[in-house]
Amino acid sequence: MRGSLRIARIAGIDIRIHYTWIFIFFLITWSLAVAYFPVEYPGWDIAVYWITSVAAALLLFISVLLHELAHSLVAKSRGLPVKSITLFLLGGISNLESEPQDPGLEFMVAIAGPLSSLVLAAIFWGVDTLGLTTLSPVKATVDYLITINILLAAFNILPGFPLDGGRVLRSIIWGATGNLQKATNIASTVGQAFGWLMIALGVFWALTGNLMNGIWLVFIGWFLNGAAESARRELELRSLWLNVRVANVMNDRPETIESVAPVDKLVNEVYVKRGMRTAPVVDDNRLVGIITLTDVRKIPQDTWQMTPVSQAMTRSPLYTVKPDDNMSVAVNLMAEHGVNQLPVVVEDRLVGMLCRADVIRYVQVHHELGRR
């Protein structure tokens, strides 16, 4: 996820926080310090409320992280690569490199998260039975974590895709029908229904005096509704590219430039004359880099004739695909790294270029021809 920072690595999985996590962390801390703890545990000093709230908010996100780790570790144990876990505005997400290929595996990966939250709630309940002082900040924090982990498990087990419960529902329907598309459509529809229900309930709460909780519920319902629709469209796109190879879509005669060529030649003969915005840099038909308009803008214009392309081009990271790769691999690579083009190579030898425009044109032509 773009806009995120790596903070740790656990079991070979990068742990990242998105910039929106900082906002939600301070919001939760503030709400605990000024509303929740003062109401539930009156009489503390202001500093104690804030210290307790910071600790509770941190432990909340550790609970979310452990929830996502449960998903990721089960996936890894079954051979599914996991790139990272990202904590963001509404919790966390495990970034699996590929989706489970059978309903049984999806069921196990999905159910692991809610079960881990229930286990955490049980552990905190065990700590709570040690006889801590009734109004102590430690007991207040533990009681909060018991409640929040139970709520986390309960919310995620709702049978609406893409929540964990929605994935469990999809795996059951998938196993019963053998049709992933049908299972996704049903689970997504249920997810959208839950989203609209939350929005309606949130509006009702907001209009009857429970403004803050109402706004939160509307926001969560809106997010769930959109996520369910996005998941449905994502599967439709993956189905679209299921039997399409990169070689069927790429430009097999891309404009190239040598690394020793001056930037002035690149601008005049490739960018201006050919209308290109990006050019692969090739020496002896071997891909050595890629250069874009953005790269060129960093070079003073009065030095273009004296500056070789090699000084301005990007050498790494170079994201590439092979001509026999499935198009879903290429589309996911473009989306994940925010790039508009991918060199197509065979053993470092450039054989083509795949751009977003090529992808859009391919879909548009087939749509206009009435072909799937």
Q: Is the pTM of this model over 0.85?
A: no
Residue 198 CA to residue 200 CA, distance in Å, equals 5
Percent of the chain having pLDDT more than 90?
23
* Average confidence (pLDDT) over 283-307: 87
Is 92 in contact with 163 (CB distance < 8 Å)? Answer: no
Residue 363 CA to residue 331 CA, distance in Å, equals 12
Give the pLDDT confidence of 185-244 residue by residue, as tens digits. 888 888 889 889 989 999 999 898 888 778 878 888 888 888 788 777 777 776 677 678
Which CATH code of 3.10.580.10, 3.40.50.300, 3.40.1180.10, 1.10.600.10 fits the domain covering 246-368? 3.10.580.10
- Ranges of H-type helices in the chain: 19-31, 37-40, 46-77, 103-128, 137-156, 164-177, 180-207, 211-240, 263-266, 273-274, 293-297, 327-337, 356-368
- Residue 68 falls in the annotated catalytic set: yes
Candidates 68, 229, 234, 258; catalytic one: 68
Strand order in the sheet with 4-10: 4-10, 13-18, 82-88, 91-96
Q: How many Cβ atoms sit within 10 Å of the Cβ of residue 102?
A: 12
Domain range annotation of the chain: 4-240, 246-368
pLDDT, residue 299, reads 86
Give the pLDDT confidence of 23-58 residue by residue, as tens digits. 888 988 998 999 889 988 888 899 999 999 999 999
Nearest C-alpha neighbor of 362 from the set 255, 204, 200, 237:
237
pLDDT, residue 204, reads 92
Is 113 in contact with 138 (CB distance < 8 Å)? Answer: no
Amino acid at 311: Q
pLDDT, residue 54, reads 95
Tokens found for residue 210: 């429970």
